Structure 1
Amino acid sequence: MKRASLIAVLMLVGCATAPPPAPPAPSYDAAAIVAGVRASGKPVATEVEVHPPQDPLVADLRQQAQRDEQAGRIAEAAAALDRALAERPQDPAVLQERAEVALLERHIDAAFDFARRAHAAGPTVGPLCRRTLEMLVQVEGLRGAAGDAGAGPRAMDFAKQRDACTVKPPPRY
């Protein structure tokens, strides 16, 4: 009797269906997105850009990260930027660069968090402002493609803020 019960249970287990697989994460070209984000931060001829003095160690680490990224060593670029952030945790330029590398690593949530911190600590106008907000727009777009229903409205809000980063000169008479 025990044997028959065991066989019946095993047969029922064999008939159980596996849960459907999770939908695959949307495919995206991280390098193209990062290139677009960086392009959005190109200076406009009519705006004034202010660059505070940099810590030489942080500047060296940023340059090392850039060389590592160009060589395809994304993890090493991330590590160099993490060391720079250990020195200057609120540096908006380093935070933005770290957001871009996080996206290259395909860490969407980390990219969002770094960009959000960069925007909070950084300027409210100019190239860095546009870059951080463009990163937030792009990440929200990726989240929307993954099924996050709230991502679309958030992306639109970030896009409006990004557009406000460019200060137009006063009209000339």
Structure 2
Amino acid sequence: MYDFSLQLLLAVFAVFILACLGYGLLRLRALSADAREEYADRAATKPATLRGVSEGEFVSLYVKSFAPRWAFYLAAGCAVAIVLSPVALVIIPAIYDQIWRATGAADWAGRGGYVFMFTVFFGVVAFGALPAFVLARLHHTRAPEPFTHALARARGEPIPEETGWRRRPKWARRVRPDTDADADSSASAGDGGSSD
């Protein structure tokens, strides 16, 4: 029964990985078709936005900017978790045994106890969390620039620097406290507090 459940779990992970990869590849193909349509539309209606940019370069920029990168990173994360789980299940009990023996080998902390199970469980979780952290970090640090910036750079135009601070729009009114309401509330509090 144990072998079958392990094989079933591996099969579920394999199907999930293949689903992520399949989704990512299908989206890349659809994005390429969308990019060609967008290029044809822009060439007809807004040719200035394509000045100096070939169709192949436009398609490449479009796909790179809008690609579902998360699907590929998720598949990679699951594959790494599958590979690291057996390693974790060998290393963690070995380290636990060394620490257990070094601390006096108490009966309550042996291999069948709750301390051992707690250590193995959270050790395996940590073995999965570290690669997930690394892949999430890579996903965010390797994010492509926005499509409008990439297209402007391909046309040879300068990209405006983002200041990070936005001025308040002129149409937005500032909130000012109602001074009459404050005066009324303080006067009523003064009157109501003095009773004979």
Whether these two folds match at TM > 0.5 is no
What is the TM-score with the length of structure 2 in the denominator? 0.25
Structure showing the higher helix proportion among its residues: 2
TM-score, normalised by the number of residues in structure 1: 0.28
Rg: which structure is higher? 2
